[in-house]
Amino acid sequence: MIPELFITAILVLLGGALLSFALSSRDERTVRTVALGSAIIASVFLAALSLFTLLTGQNFVFTVYQPFPYLAISFFIDRLAAFFLLLIAIIGGCVAVYTVEYFEHLGGGARRNHLCAFGNLFILAMVLVVSSATTISFLLFWELMAASSFFLVMYEYTREETRKAGVFYFIMTQLSTLFVMLGIFALYVQTGSFAIAPLTAAGSPLITAAFLALFVGFAIKAGIIPFHKWLPYAHPASPSPISALLSGVMLKIAVYGLIRFLLDVFQPDIWWGVLILAAGTTSAVLGIIYALKEHDVKAMLAYSSIENVGIVFVGIGLSIILSAANLPLLATISLLGALFHALNHALFKALLFLTSGSVVHATHTRDIEHMGGLAHRMPWTSGLFFVGAVSISALPPFNGFASELMIFSAFFSSVAVVDPLLKVLLFISLALFALTSALSMACFVKAFGSIFLALPRSSESEKAHEVSEMMLIGPGILAAACILLGLFSYKIFFLVGYPAVIPDMLLIGILLLVMAALTYAFLYFFASREVRVSETWGCGIHSQQPATEYTGHGFSEPIDIIFSAIYRTRTKNERTFFDRANCIFAEGTGEIRLMKVFEEYLYLPLARFAVWAAESISRFQNGCLDTYLLYVFVAVVAVIIFLGWYA
């Protein structure tokens, strides 16, 4: 039954995509609604089948098409795959619900049909990657995912910044595919098959190379620092639901790849864990520090995605270290924490991207300094964003906290490892991890405060109004999931067979409610009930002005100064004076510019090197027939020599 359901879901998705490709000339709402509706239906199917697999723990293997004896398109769904299928299904479905309305407000006429089609294809590709049974189909669908997402990012191709972001994204995503391909071929050379199966031999350099290649490939896709730069470009450039899919789901597919290969193929060494932990910690800390500086709401969310994927990597790395140090229970907690955080991040990041899409739609700006006061004008959207902000700040009893709590408790107990060097590493990592979660709280206080609270800071945000129902239902489901997954986390882990990995959050939730209710009752009976709405003291100003509000920049300024060593701002002062002793100031300019450290010191040199290498190679291509004949001659001679010596 499960295979049939799976095939149906795939066909529905494909059908939706083909339909809107076929009718791409007709700019009608129905076409798009049908295409998106197919995505929603497919999501429901996928969710049902993955829930079934998760709860029963059965595995399903089935082959759909076998063109060659050794090459079959076959699928494999176990709990891990089902977990990620569930993630894709929930986010995909909710984004589709949101998009039904959102696309109608988007410019671009009939091109929107393409957007729907590529969206369906993208979801399809991710589903297929996750359920691939062989490495070769994994690679194939990985590339399909990359290509379809490129078209999604390039939707507003008329804009300069979108084109730049698109090209950047394309290069990075192809690099990722390249590395994954290298890793998979290295594995093929080692084992002689494309099956995802445990390696028998361990410790050969080829296996290490395969791991490193795969790690880099997945890290690029997951946006791990220093391979992260495509995220803050691609997200602001693409439409919000697309950002939600990219950030919420696609990054998790990379996480899936990493976990799948680590669990089912490799026997990880302890230093692999250290590598993943270090990469994760770096991404988490730097990601959130950059997010705090960002004032484009979507770029901020993009950086925060980098942080959260970093947290997931921390969990994975910790789990490898702990299982290598012979602490299997803690390793399980940590890995479950990482997986749970992947799901949670998908939920609240999609929620935040969708609601910020509504905000951008209502205010026509992405700069949070031009928003403000939206809590009155968009009460529902603000409520939904608030749920996302609380979750992502890891506050109890919501889901973001539940997963971070698991990673934290693994960390706290991990001091039991013996090796002192490792212990130190874990402590440093723990301290930085704590810093991350505190900074993300600061970041989202700033985001929510600047976007929704106080007075509107621009006329657009003054005139903003609430969005329509469909754009509230999609995020609404996600918000409900955020709350429920947090409250029932204990029950959920109990159901899938992992009792006592997390304290019971439901009890905490109930206690919070009871305490608040008791307080309310007490005040109701024993305190004054009078309420007056009136101007409060405004530091000497008669009535509050938007200009006197604390801005987002102002809010994050102390953190900027404290972490100035990391931001690497470049201050430039040019002054002229009237006198020689430089006492009487005439005029001057000053600017403080944030240096793009990774771009200036890593990406650009690499790009220059690539251009240089390409130029040197292009000398071989001089357009003269004789030269090419010479190449053929040399090649033939080389082949003969090779055959003579080695074969």
Partner 1 sequence: MSLDFVVYMMVNTLLVIAAAPFFVSFIKKVKAWTQGRRGPSVFQTYANLAKLLKKEVIYSPHSSRIMRVTPYVNIAAALVASLFVPLAFVPEPVGGIGNIILFLYLLALGKFFMALSGLDAGSSFGGMGSSREMSISAVIEPTTIIVFAALAFVFKTLNIFTIFSVTAGSSTPVTPTLILLGISLFIILIVETSRIPVDNPETHLELTMIHEGMILEQSGRNLALMELSSGIKLTLLIALLINLVLPFGLGTTLTVAGIAIAAVLFLLKGVLLGGIIGLFESSMSKMRFFRLPSLFAMAFFFSTLTIIIEVFT
Partner 2 sequence: MTDMASIEGIIKILFVVVIIAAAYIISTRNILSLVSVYSLQSLTLAAIALALWIADGKIVLLEIAIVTIASKVLIIPYFIATIQERIRIKRDIEFHYLNPTTSLLVSMVMMLVIYFALSRILPTAPGTPSLLFFGAVIGISLMLMGMMVTFSRKRAITKVMGYLSMENGVLFFGMFVTELPLIIEFLIIIDLIILVLLTTILAVGIDSTLEEYHNRLHRFHLWEDKEDAS
Contact residues: partner 2, CB under 8 A: 420-421, 424
The partner in contact with residue 421, picked from partner 1, partner 2, none with C-beta cut-offs of 5 to 8 angstroms by kind, is partner 2
**Is 13 within 8 Å of 39 (Cβ atoms)?**
yes
282-301 positions binding partner 1, by CB under 8 A: none
The partner in contact with residue 453, picked from partner 2, partner 1, none with C-beta cut-offs of 5 to 8 angstroms by kind, is partner 1
With residue 569 as reference, give the H or E element that holds it: strand 569-577
> What does 92-112 look like in DSSP terms, one character per residue?
HHHHHHHHHHHGGGSS-TTHH
Of 428 and 629, nearer to partner 2 (C-beta) is: 428
Least distance (Å) between residue 424 CB and partner 2? 6
Of 187 and 422, nearer to partner 2 (C-beta) is: 422
The partner in contact with residue 394, picked from partner 1, partner 2, none with C-beta cut-offs of 5 to 8 angstroms by kind, is partner 1
Residue 382 in contact with partner 1, rule: CB under 8 A:
yes
Classify the phi-psi angles of 540: left when phi > 0, otherwise alpha if psi is within -120 to 50, otherwise beta: left
Least distance (Å) between residue 244 CB and partner 2? 39
Q: Which residue pairs, CB below 8 angstroms and at least 24 apart, start in 104-110?
A: 104/29, 104/32, 105/361, 106/239, 108/155, 108/156, 109/27, 110/24, 110/25, 110/26, 110/27
The partner in contact with residue 549, picked from partner 2, partner 1, none with C-beta cut-offs of 5 to 8 angstroms by kind, is partner 1
- Rounded to the nearest 5°, which phi and psi values hold at 557? -60, -45
Least distance (Å) between residue 82 CB and partner 1? 27
User: Per-residue b/e over 94-123, b at no fewer than 16 CB within 10 Å?
Assistant: bbbbbbbbbbeebebeeebbbbbbbbbbbb
Is the peptide bond between 268 and the residue preceding it cis, with omega within 30 degrees of 0? no
The partner in contact with residue 455, picked from partner 2, partner 1, none with C-beta cut-offs of 5 to 8 angstroms by kind, is partner 1
Least distance (Å) between residue 565 CB and partner 2? 8
- Residue 220: closest CA among 296, 168, 298, 272: 168
> Using CB under 8 A, which of 22, 495, 523, 641 touches partner 1?
523
Distance CA 437, CA 545 (A): 33
462-501 positions binding partner 1, by CB under 8 A: 490
Rounded to an integer, what is the distance from CA 368 to the centroid of its chain?
A: 21
Lookup result for tokens 């993955």: 50
> Using CB under 8 A, which of 158, 528, 571, 618 touches partner 1?
528
Least distance (Å) between residue 357 CB and partner 2? 41
Of 424 and 638, nearer to partner 2 (C-beta) is: 424
Least distance (Å) between residue 560 CB and partner 2? 16
Least distance (Å) between residue 424 CB and partner 1? 8
Distance CA 327, CA 195 (A): 29
Lookup result for tokens 């001091």: 415
Distance CA 36, CA 42 (A): 10
Of 257 and 400, nearer to partner 1 (C-beta) is: 400
Residue 423 in contact with partner 1, rule: CB under 8 A:
yes
> Using CB under 8 A, which of 527, 581, 617, 643 touches partner 1?
527
The partner in contact with residue 538, picked from partner 1, partner 2, none with C-beta cut-offs of 5 to 8 angstroms by kind, is partner 1
Q: Which stretch binds partner 1 (CB under 8 A): 22-30, 70-78, 395-403, 472-480?
A: 395-403
545-564 positions binding partner 1, by CB under 8 A: 546, 548-550, 554-559, 561-562
In angstroms, the Cα distances linking 164 to 35, 90, 202 are 29, 31, 43
Of 7 and 445, nearer to partner 1 (C-beta) is: 445
Least distance (Å) between residue 331 CB and partner 1? 17
**Is 51 within 8 Å of 2 (Cβ atoms)?**
no
The partner in contact with residue 438, picked from partner 2, partner 1, none with C-beta cut-offs of 5 to 8 angstroms by kind, is partner 1
Distance CA 194, CA 187 (A): 8
Q: Give 578's DSSP letter.
A: S
Lookup result for tokens 């977990």: 83
Q: Which stretch binds partner 1 (CB under 8 A): 307-315, 461-469, 472-480, 505-513?
A: 505-513
Q: Give 402's DSSP letter.
A: H
Lookup result for tokens 């076929």: 22
Residue 415 in contact with partner 1, rule: CB under 8 A:
yes
The partner in contact with residue 373, picked from partner 1, partner 2, none with C-beta cut-offs of 5 to 8 angstroms by kind, is partner 1
**Is 432 within 8 Å of 284 (Cβ atoms)?**
yes
428-457 positions binding partner 1, by CB under 8 A: 430-435, 437-439, 441-442, 445-446, 448-450, 452-455
> Using CB under 8 A, which of 147, 396, 477, 602 touches partner 1?
396
The partner in contact with residue 243, picked from partner 1, partner 2, none with C-beta cut-offs of 5 to 8 angstroms by kind, is none
Of 95 and 289, nearer to partner 2 (C-beta) is: 289
